[in-house]
Chains A and B, each alone.
Chain A
Amino acid sequence: MAVQTFLFASLIIFSSIESNHGATEVSLFTNLENSLEVTAKPTRVGVVWEAGKDIVRITWMLKSSAKVNDDAAFKTVEVKLCYAPISQVDRPWRKTHNELSKDKSCPHLIVSKPYDKTTQSLNWTVDRETPTGTYFIRAYGTDVNGYEVAYGQSSDAEKTTNLFSVEGISGRHTSLDVASICFSVFSVDSLLVFLVKEKKKAKLQQRK
């Protein structure tokens, strides 16, 4: 009996230690250092980017103002496409959350590269499945365990400057439109055919 109580108690203690351990590892956005500098230069300036077509040159590096060993912690850089505030209005599924595991404002991963302490860049074609909206680009520096320790973004802190608009694909196809019209016409026509046939039959029966 005593042994069972002891085992039960230790199970509870260990599981609570475990969960405590987990709690300290939650990344909060406000805890991150803004030590990365991110720039995004489109090939076509001044127009709305088209998903699947336009190419953007994204560059990221450690800020010149950063201290020497700031980048010692992060091993990987994850570059993400994030929604600007205007694309989050009345859309709770894109809400910004301080706890990064719950944050839904940066759902699209552009690239994930190991960090080599130099300036890195990428010619990125805007993903074909990118929804219509207004965006900016953010890079997270993640450590060995995958937790974010630093970040940088192409826009300012209030996310008001350097925003760009993307026009998503419509998903419509002429063949789909034609098929849709054909089946609709078939549906209405077959109903009419039945109506006419039955009226004729009823008239014949009445005459009998």
Chain B
Amino acid sequence: MAPNHSNENGSIGSSLHGVTAREQVFSFSVEDGPSSQAIRSDDPTAKFALLVDSEHRAKVFKPFSFAKPHMRAFHLGWISFFTCFISTFAAAPLVPVIRDNLDLTKTDIGNAGVASVSGAIFSRLAMGAVCDLLGARYGTAFSLMLSAPAVFSMSFVADAGSYLAVRFMIGFCLATFVSCQYWTSVMFTGKIIGLVNGCAGGWGDMGGGVTQLLMPMVFHVIKLTGATPYTAWRFAFFIPGFLQIIMGILVLTLGQDLPDGNLSTLQKSGQVSKDKFSKVFWFAVKNYRTWILFVLYGFSMGVELTINNVISGYFYDRFNLTLHTAGIVAASFGMANFFARPFGGYASDVAARLFGMRGRLWTLWILQTVGALFCIWLGRASSLPIAVLAMMLFSVGTQAACGALFGVAPFVSRRSLGLISGLTGAGGNFGSGVTQLLFFSSSRFSTAEGLSLMGVMAVVCTIPVAFIHFPQWGSMFLRPSQHEERSKEEHYYGGEWTEEEKSLGLHEGSIKFAENSRSERGRKAVLADIPTPETGSPAHV
């Protein structure tokens, strides 16, 4: 294994962190102390613009910086994801024109809406694996540049069937969510990951709101050049297509997989070990927490995706607004993501500082349940001002819940981080497909009834968060395990590797991660005296 790791292992094992009540539990302190300077100058690859931890993940978040590699990865990630959201929901504000051009029925439109989010169920799963095996850069670029042809092919669409097929294929690009979250999770440290993931996710999700304003505007401009409406809407799709190609090229030329370099280079030089897909998959699937997050995200992000497809039409029909005004209302739902999702991530981080992982879980439950209750209210509101108020409160609650969930997800597994992000993300799309199919694709329920019922289902499906239990940190209602071995983070993360793999030292990354994740004990972390167990380290050091 690379010499870097053994140096740092030695320093972790022998440092006196955690002895006094005042010390941070990390190997490096947040302030520019002499200890961190000394250790940084040892490490030849540690010439970073931001303060980093032992895995070279950034410890600070500076949104206005584009410094290589951390902040650059952040910006490339969220803008790619933003672009994909624009493409996926580009059809929604143009539906009044498209439905006349293609002679669509409500069922056709509803089915196309379901299709637009279903493709990503599979692509998000695949993306998790791609990130774990090939790196976040390629994952993002694949998603952007292989789905751009689908966006352009709106120019060929002639009937309901081809419209559905194209929306299904465009929807694959929502896999960039997983690559974006994965990229930030490897670039930023656990203490701030809630906020960083929340910003990346939230600003990306804003694309769903921006598209409701952008596409009608592009459509209008193209019409001014003399095109008929039925040509103009097809040409309008070229804009999201161009954006995807441009972002793909930027990601490949400016981005970097990991703080230390690109994955293929690091793998070939032996600094990062190549993992087996079957193992990565097995540990993700075996962990019950993955599936609880799958369901939870289905009723926070899933609800959000469904609303992106139906809310404009709802306000247009129920309150007789003009298309323009309905588009503005729809856009404000999506745009609330700008601060709502980062707020959720930040709230999760603050709760973690005070109460550890238990705080994160409670924050998640509260935000998601409150959001769902406002969704019920939205369906029942019969006057426009009340409906808009309910919608805004609902958007903040649900989107903050999305942010809070991804404050928890990075801790579920270290080995299968990518695949778990993928599975959780897929859950979001699955939830959206289910809710659209159940409540918005037939005339069984009016749209208003559908909204309220969706809210009720979301409240019920948020209850499983109470069952997420970490032996080292506890759960919503249970305290952490008192058992000597099981109460250590190393035991949890080390448990993903077999003894054979441990003897080869393949689990080193997980041990480092475990060390850095001690912050999830909350205030007790400062008081704990937990040196990394020597039994976990490989003998060759």
Contacts and interface: CB of A to CB of B under 8 A. Distances in A.
A120 interface: no
Contact of A205 (B105, B145, B252, B269): B269
B233 A184 contact: no
Given A129-B228, A205-B269, A171 B149 contact: no
Given A187-B244, A205-B268, A172 B99 contact: no
A176 B230 contact: no
Contact of B268 (A173, A177, A206): A206
Secondary structure class of chain B's binding surface, majority of residues: helix
Interface in B32-83: none
B187 to A, nearest CB: 20
Contact of A93 (B96, B101, B107, B149): B96
A186 interface: yes
A205 B141 CA distance: 23
A24 interface: no
A206 B262 CA distance: 13
Interface string B147-160: 01100110110100
Nearest to A52: B228
Interface in B220-274: 228-235, 238, 241-242, 244-245, 248-249, 252, 262, 264-265, 268-269
B103 interface: yes
B106 interface: yes
19 contacts: A90-B443, A168-B101, A169-B228, A171-B232, A171-B234, A176-B231, A177-B156, A180-B238, A183-B149, A183-B242, A186-B245, A187-B148, A190-B245, A190-B249, A191-B142, A194-B141, A202-B264, A202-B265, A202-B268
B238 A183 contact: yes
A172 B233 CA distance: 10
A184 B234 contact: no
Interface string B129-150: 0000000001001100110110
Interface string A81-103: 00000000111110000000010
Given A90-B107, A92-B317, A129-B228, A183 B101 contact: no
Given A93-B96, A191-B142, A133 B153 contact: no
B146 A188 contact: yes
Contacts of A179: 152, 155, 238
Interface in A160-199: 168-173, 176-177, 179-181, 183-184, 186-188, 190-191, 194-195, 198-199
A126 B149 CA distance: 35
A117 interface: no
Contact of B145 (A89, A91, A92, A190): A190
B31 interface: no
Given A92-B317, A168-B101, A198-B264, A176 B234 contact: yes
Interface string B83-119: 0000000000000100111010111000000000000
A198 B141 CA distance: 13
A183 B241 contact: yes
A184 B242 CA distance: 10
A63 interface: no
B495 to A, nearest CB: 33
B103 A133 contact: yes
Interface residues of A, number: 36
Chain B interface size, as a band, is 35 or more
A48 to B, nearest CB: 13
Contacts of A129: 228-230
Contact of B234 (A89, A172, A195, A198): A172
A114 interface: no
A190 B142 CA distance: 11
B320 interface: yes
Contacts of B142: 191
B245 A131 contact: no
A187 B248 contact: yes
A205 B261 CA distance: 13
Contacts of A128: 228
A29 to B, nearest CB: 18
Contacts of A202: 264-265, 268
A102 B245 CA distance: 44
A81 to B, nearest CB: 13
The 7 closest A-B pairs by CB, nearest first: A171-B230, A184-B149, A131-B100, A90-B105, A180-B152, A187-B148, A191-B145
B517 to A, nearest CB: 31
Contacts of B249: 190
Nearest to A107: B100
A176 B103 CA distance: 21
A34 interface: no
Q: Which of B100, B141, B153, B234 has the most CB atoms of chain A within a 10 A radius of its CB?
A: B100
Contacts of B317: 92-93
B343 to A, nearest CB: 36
A194 B233 CA distance: 32
Contacts of A131: 100-101, 103
A181 B107 CA distance: 30
A132 interface: yes
Contacts of A191: 141-142, 145-146, 248, 252
A92 B96 CA distance: 12
B149 A92 contact: no
Contacts of A195: 138
A183 B155 CA distance: 12
B252 A170 contact: no
Given A90-B106, A172-B156, A198-B264, A188 B149 contact: yes
Contacts of B242: 183
Nearest to A89: B105
Contacts of B107: 90
A8 to B, nearest CB: 23
A170 B159 CA distance: 9
B269 A171 contact: no
Nearest to A176: B155
A186 B443 CA distance: 43
B320 A187 contact: no
B223 to A, nearest CB: 11
A164 B264 CA distance: 64
A171 B97 CA distance: 11
Nearest to A173: B231
B142 to A, nearest CB: 7
Given A90-B105, A179-B152, 11 more contacts: A89-B105, A173-B231, A176-B235, A180-B152, A180-B153, A184-B148, A187-B241, A190-B245, A190-B248, A195-B138, A198-B262
